Chains A and B, each alone.
Chain A
């Protein structure tokens, strides 16, 4: 059971928009930046979003991030079949002095 809670799965049709939530507490999301990672099947994770809403170079603006209080959200617009992957949120926990990951959300593009 992860300290950061994500829905196990989400789905949407190609071209549509989807959001993935990540819920934590004041010791983690509430007082630290959130990152998001995409893991395509059989590959290493890739950093999609850092510092709540910033995108590394090369990440399309179809991907967005936001944070409010102790929750964060990843948004993906213009869904493509190539977006089918597992998505993880991550942040620092000040009480545990450790990085935490959410349990992961499997995105299916129908």
Chain B
């Protein structure tokens, strides 16, 4: 059974940095594409970015609001996904979910973690 667990959420000051982790199990991590999605309190879903499998180039795509500030990476040996967040802004406050891209798809998100809360104070 696919299992994803995010960690690393915290309260951080504006301009600061934070690294989120997403530990996974139950599927072939190295062959999978993965994404980060965030949800500000009381608001809708916002895609953050994705990373392809190494066999597909390991490339990343990012949403415009985070491009240049956030970096997605993966450790296939540990089946773990990361989100490095720099130059944080108050509008980055959200619950951050990691999710697997559906096998055979390119952007639809099949399995999700429970989320971790990031709060950016001014």
Contacts and interface: CB of A to CB of B under 8 A. Distances in A.
Nearest to A90: B108
A101 B61 contact: no
Interface residues of A, number: 27
A68 interface: no
A63 interface: no
Nearest to A34: B108
A101 B114 contact: no
Interface stretch (B9-17, B40-48, B85-93): B40-48
Contacts of B109: 35, 37, 45, 47, 90
Interface in B98-112: 99, 102, 105-110, 112
A44 B112 CA distance: 6
Interface residues of B, number: 24
Contacts of B99: 45
5 contacts: A90-B109, A96-B64, A98-B64, A99-B35, A101-B47
Interface string A84-97: 00101011100011
Contacts of A101: 37, 44-47
Nearest to B67: A98
Contacts, number: 67
Contacts of B112: 44-46
Nearest to A98: B63
B110 A99 contact: no
Interface in B24-48: 35, 37, 44-47
A101 B63 CA distance: 12
Given A44-B97, A50-B108, 6 more contacts: A35-B107, A98-B61, A98-B62, A99-B50, A101-B45, A103-B44
B47 A98 contact: yes
